[in-house]
Structure 1
Amino acid sequence: MISPLLRGGCAALALIAATPALAQAPDADLAALVRAQAAEIAALKTRLDRLEGTAAAAPVPTFAGTPAPGAQAGAPRTTQPFAPQLAPPGPADRDVERAIAARDNPSGVTTEWGAGLPVFHSADGVYTFKPRGRILTDVSTSFGSKYKGRNLTTTGMRALRLGLEGAVGTHFFYQFESDFSENEVDVVTAFVGWRNRLRPGLDYDVRAGHLFNDRGFEGSTGSDSTPFLERTTVATAIIPQRGFYGIGIMPRLFWKTGHVSLTVTGDRIDGTQAVSDSRTALARVHWNPIKTDRGVLHVGAWGFDESLSSVAGSLTRNTVIGGRFNGALRVSTGTLTGGTGTTGYGVELGGYRGPLWLMAEAGRRKARLDAGRPDFVSEAWSVSGGFFITGDLPPYNPRLGSFGQPKVLKPTFDGGPGAIELTARYENLDYTDLVTGGDGWAPPLGGKWYLNNFTRFQVNAIQWHTDNRARPYTGGDDGQTLSARVGVTF
């Protein structure tokens, strides 16, 4: 920036240069000469102003490596999202391009806002750090059941998480989160990773630690981004016995229209080291054969194989059908022990066009039993959809093939309406391959109001049906559940 001292110096030089001419000029010409010198000084000042303005308006490269329109020198960094309708990814979720741009465009110690809590960048662009958090508070009431024990009103914390993520240089990254929702400390995500580029448009990362499954559309979507208060029956029933997490390694390969992942894990974090862990191998691929600024076609498939340890032989399942916070409202297999392993697989088909999205999922799981007993097969399927009446695009992440954190067009805190979405779903679950197994279905209706990128209210109305063969709630039963959530994601 051109200093006031330089401005004054230029004007003084012009005046000194004019002094001999002023001394020799007749009075008649003196006034004209002074006016000419004043005009020259004014022209010089205008030129300096123009030069200074050009320097101040120089664009600063963004993390995507392209100039940000209207950016000014010294402006804060902004990480570019993977789609315009998404919030920017955190340090552990960036691709190599964004990591390289962060390293090559240092602009001093900066703080980047926009996704709940700030992202901190070191002056040299090497270190990046972000606190993480998630608060999901639910209330639920069920009625209409013929069993009094199912007509409950309850409250609960779906998630109460604190954590951090960060990166060092271009390639290394990490993430850690603990959950306190059951009044106990439960480590959820905890990993370190390495990312790199094979060639332009093709990159990979490898994560090692306590990993969240990459399994199905909603099975791969975080609890703070699911379209309904609970995931579909495909995500909750066609699942390894160890659940959504396991300790192991996950390499992932990304290209412009999809990704593929392979996960090999043992058990969840536990204190048992007297016997071998169970072993789970899981793979998923998603592809966007159509991908435009306003629409995407999503195709996906996944599968897993699990070998159970000698102390993990129970295959009993009690699966959510009408809401998470009513423990009496489940579809049950009945007591099932003596399992040696499971194999499951599923498919995904859907996408969005403008503010409308649809997604169909189906899955099948085969549980292997000991003592020569036949395998137990469970099946589930669902069809879900939503429409943003405010015109926002669905928060689809084309890099991961799942839903993510949205970028609201007109947040309420800026005087806008926020983003309002209406949703509907039908889901079905079948455990009747077992003599003691039940089945059930539910067509939830829902609505979400995103106040901004990280705050939302959510309501679900669920008509449910169960037909369990195992006690205590046997036979056909129907009822309704109303649930609501207040959610904040940092």
Structure 2
Amino acid sequence: MTSSFLRDGCAALALIAATPALAQAPSNADLADLVRAQAAEIAALKARLDKLEGQNAAMAAAQSAPTPASAPQMAQQQAASPPLTVSPFAPQIVPPGPADIDVAQARAIAANEVGLKTEWGAGLPVFRSADGVFTYKPRGRILVDVSSTMGSKYSGRNTTTTGMRALRLGLEGGVGPHFFYQFETDFSENEVDIVTAFMGWRNKIGSKVDYDVRVGHLFNDRAFEGSTGSDSTPFLERGTVSTAIIPQRGFYGIGIMGRMFGPNWHASVAVTGDRVDGQQATNDSRTVSARAHWNPIKTDTSLLHVGAWGFDEALSSAATTLTRSTVIGGRFNGAVRVSTGELLGGRSTTGYGVELGGYTGGLWVMGEAGQRIARLDAGRPDFKSKAWSLSTGLFLTGELPPYNPRLGSFGQPNVLDPVLDGGTGAIELTARYENLDYTDLVLGGEGWAATVGVNWYLNSFTRFQLNGIQWHSDNRAGAYTGSDDGQTISARVGVTF
């Protein structure tokens, strides 16, 4: 096209140059014919030029439009594009890590990976292999507390203490879309303690339901606050339902857990033995547990939560002591507790509870209640522990409560205006009333606590918390018996990776 244009231009110039030689004395008619011929040539040249410019524009548009590409071209385009951002389970929480995403998200990540990828998320990087098959993320948790108690009639309860609520290091990752793993060790009591340690398999059942199966040292799926990690609870310590209505082995046990997830519900079933220990001379206790939650109302700004859970444990011959001493005024004052008194000869226990709550905008409310039945030997009657709590919170800075609809628990909040970006962070006001009753035993005590607090989230993984607790205990055994009241002020700085 360009060569034709040049050829035509040269012909026109030659015609103009030759005109004087063709006619030494042209007539007016000849001149008029010549002008008309030159005008025609110029018009033809202009039409060709317009056509050429139109074709060039079309070619540029075609090049900018997406077209099928070869494998090397696709690789170059993907390498130049930003990494895939996995959609979180809810916009108000931090996206889950490699061990918590579902199989669809794992497949999406693998399909997008070309070249080694390192992405910085909530505090620590996520590493992905060149083919997207292998995923790895370090994990960490530092929770530092200080607590001061006053007002008790017993001077031994009026203490000021410090402690590490959690000091964890670990990792999580996956191989392909199905296999995943997680491991964490806690050093908070100046001892090495294995906490979460499992491997698992995930897949889908139809288009709307998926599942996973985990094997290893597993965290309980029990109660709302009991299923929420210690770094995500809105208060410095979980409520009495989670701390008292619990299997004898505690929050962890070695075994297998299956979980199923739908669009607005989840259900889990687990069979576990004792937690990690070095005791293999006797049988483990056996615990069967289950939990389910349902969100019958679920919109962009509001949600209703309904949940239920239960467990049944057959106690080992080495775990027949059921004596309990449960904190009521904060974790780091070991003297402020509600006690059962000495309780020996346990055979088995059964616990169950219900959850009801939800949120609208930045306001959330959650009520929990539970009961534990301990069966004793030698013909003695069963012992019943009862607990309940009512909690609420309000985000003043526009965030939605960090509710995870996949698990029916709280997670890390997605802060809208982080302090590290020059913003104000997220500010949450909280309040809770909780009650615990061990009086079904002759020597059993009872107590309650009312807590008000404020949480300041600098970003999605750093927070400051302050709790003021008015507590009451009435123990019938131990060093601090009778009715007693006091106040505890606790504070925390926490970082979660």
Q: Same fold (TM over 0.5)?
A: yes
- CA-CA distance at 1:305 after TM superposition: 0.6
Structure 2 partner of 1:390? 397
Confirm whether residue 450 of structure 1 aligns to residue 437 of structure 2.
Answer: no
Aligned pair partner of 1:297 in 277, 296, 304: 304
Distance 1:38 1:156, change over 3 A: farther
Q: Deviations over 1:93-150 (max 9, x none)?
A: 1112112222333343222333221212222221111111111111111111111111
Query: Counterparts of 1:341 and 1:203 in 2: how far apart (Å)?
Result: 34
Structure 1 partner of 2:238? 231
Query: Counterparts of 1:476 and 1:49 in 2: how far apart (Å)?
Result: 85
Q: Deviations over 1:225-257 (max 9, x none)?
A: 001000010000000000000000001111111
- Taking the TM superposition and a 5 Å limit, the aligned residue runs for 1:28-427 are 50=61, 53-54=64-65, 74-427=81-434
Query: Counterparts of 1:281 and 1:358 in 2: how far apart (Å)?
Result: 29
- CA-CA distance at 1:338 after TM superposition: 1.4
Structure 1 partner of 2:13? 26
**Paired residue type of 2:84:** R
Query: Secondary structure at 1:309's aligned position in 2?
Result: coil
Contact kept? 1:247, 1:269, Cα under 8 Å: yes
Query: Counterparts of 2:475 and 2:451 in 1: how far apart (Å)?
Result: 20
Structure 2 partner of 1:9? none
**Paired residue type of 1:151:** N
- CA-CA distance at 1:38 after TM superposition: 8.8
Query: Counterparts of 2:212 and 2:130 in 1: how far apart (Å)?
Result: 25
Query: Secondary structure at 1:274's aligned position in 2?
Result: coil
Structure 1 partner of 2:480? 473
Query: Secondary structure at 2:105's aligned position in 1?
Result: helix
Query: Counterparts of 1:127 and 1:311 in 2: how far apart (Å)?
Result: 42
Query: Counterparts of 1:184 and 1:134 in 2: how far apart (Å)?
Result: 16
Q: Which stretches in structure 2 are left out of the alignment for 5+ residues?
A: 17-37, 70-77
Query: Secondary structure at 1:26's aligned position in 2?
Result: helix
Query: Counterparts of 2:56 and 2:116 in 1: how far apart (Å)?
Result: 34
Distance 1:100 1:323, change over 3 A: same
Contact kept? 1:15, 1:37, Cα under 8 Å: no
Query: Counterparts of 1:431 and 1:33 in 2: how far apart (Å)?
Result: 103
Query: Secondary structure at 2:243's aligned position in 1?
Result: helix
**Paired residue type of 1:257:** N
**Paired residue type of 1:113:** W
**TM-score calculated relative to the size of structure 1:** 0.90
Query: Secondary structure at 2:342's aligned position in 1?
Result: coil
More deviation, 110-119/444-453: 110-119
Distance 1:48 1:137, change over 3 A: farther
Contact kept? 1:22, 1:33, Cα under 8 Å: no
Query: Counterparts of 2:261 and 2:461 in 1: how far apart (Å)?
Result: 26
Contact kept? 1:86, 1:407, Cα under 8 Å: yes
**Paired residue type of 2:347:** T
Query: Secondary structure at 2:93's aligned position in 1?
Result: coil
Q: Deviations over 1:8-41 (max 9, x none)?
A: xxxxxx7655443343332878999999999888
Percent identical across equivalent pairs?
69
**TM-score calculated relative to the size of structure 2:** 0.88
Q: Deviations over 1:144-197 (max 9, x none)?
A: 111111111111111111111111112111110101111111110000101111
Contact kept? 1:322, 1:464, Cα under 8 Å: yes
More deviation, 101-110/167-176: 101-110
Query: Counterparts of 2:421 and 2:52 in 1: how far apart (Å)?
Result: 45
Contact kept? 2:213, 2:256, Cα under 8 Å: yes
Q: Deviations over 1:399-438 (max 9, x none)?
A: 1000011111121222222111100000000111111111
Q: Deviations over 1:44-66 (max 9, x none)?
A: 7766665565559x9xxxxxxxx
**RMSD between aligned alpha carbons?**
2.3
More deviation, 165-174/36-45: 36-45
Structure 2 partner of 1:460? 467
Query: Secondary structure at 1:485's aligned position in 2?
Result: strand
Query: Secondary structure at 2:310's aligned position in 1?
Result: strand
Q: Deviations over 1:368-404 (max 9, x none)?
A: 1112221111100000000001111000011100001
Distance 1:329 1:38, change over 3 A: farther
Contact kept? 2:84, 2:112, Cα under 8 Å: no
Structure 1 partner of 2:24? none
Contact kept? 1:145, 1:477, Cα under 8 Å: yes
Contact kept? 1:108, 1:123, Cα under 8 Å: yes
Query: Counterparts of 1:53 and 1:73 in 2: how far apart (Å)?
Result: 16
- CA-CA distance at 1:206 after TM superposition: 0.5
Query: Secondary structure at 1:443's aligned position in 2?
Result: strand
Distance 1:53 1:323, change over 3 A: farther
Query: Secondary structure at 1:413's aligned position in 2?
Result: helix
